[in-house]
Amino acid sequence: MDDRNEIPEISSAWNASLAALVIFLAAMLYVFGTVMSGDTSQLTAKVPGADVIEVK
């Protein structure tokens, strides 16, 4: 009966995967926010050699 109250242990591989996923999603949110704001010069300034093609 006491087995149901124990907290299952999460492996370190799951913790590393979860941390990588959170970092990736935060980076995608930053890039999406920068692109949606229209300030692509700020985004390309951080990536050397990147070209932005504006289509209007």
23 pLDDT above the threshold of 70: yes
Start-to-end Cα distance in the chain: 67
In angstroms, the CA 1 to CA 31 distance is: 49
Domain chopping of the chain, boundaries: 10-56
Q: Does 25 or 48 have the greater pLDDT score?
A: 25
Q: How much helix, strand and coil, in percent to the nearest 5, is found in the chain?
A: 65, 0, 35
Residue 43 confidence (pLDDT): 61
Residue 7 confidence (pLDDT): 72
Looking at the chain, the whole-number percentage of residues with pLDDT higher than 90 is 23
Q: Report pTM.
A: 0.55
Considering only CA atoms, which of 44, 23, 24, 47 is closest in space to residue 34? Answer: 44
